[in-house]
Amino acid sequence: MSNHGPGDNYQGRDELTSEPIREPDIAAELVAAFADAWNRNDMEALARVFHEDAGFVDVRGTYVQGSEEIGRRHAAERTGALKDSVLRGEVVDARQPAPGVIVGHMKTELDVAGQTRAAFLTFVLERRAGQWRFSEAQNTIVAPPSH
> Residue 38 region, left (φ>0) first, then alpha (ψ -120 to 50), else beta?
alpha
The separation between CA 39 and the C-alpha centre of its own chain, rounded to angstroms, equals: 13
Amino acid at 38: W
Domain boundaries, the chain: 23-141
- Class of the CATH domain delimited by 23-141: alpha beta
Please answer whether residues 139 and 79 qualify as being in contact, where contact means their C-beta atoms are separated by less than 8 angstroms. no
pTM: 0.83
H or E stretch covering 12: none
Rounded Cα–Cα distance for residues 103 and 34 (Å) = 16
The pLDDT tens digits along the chain (147 residues) read: 344 455 444 345 444 445 566 778 899 999 999 999 999 999 999 999 999 999 999 999 999 999 999 999 999 999 988 999 999 999 999 999 988 999 999 999 999 999 999 999 999 999 999 899 999 999 999 987 776
DSSP characters over 80-97: TTTTT-EEEEEEEEEEEE
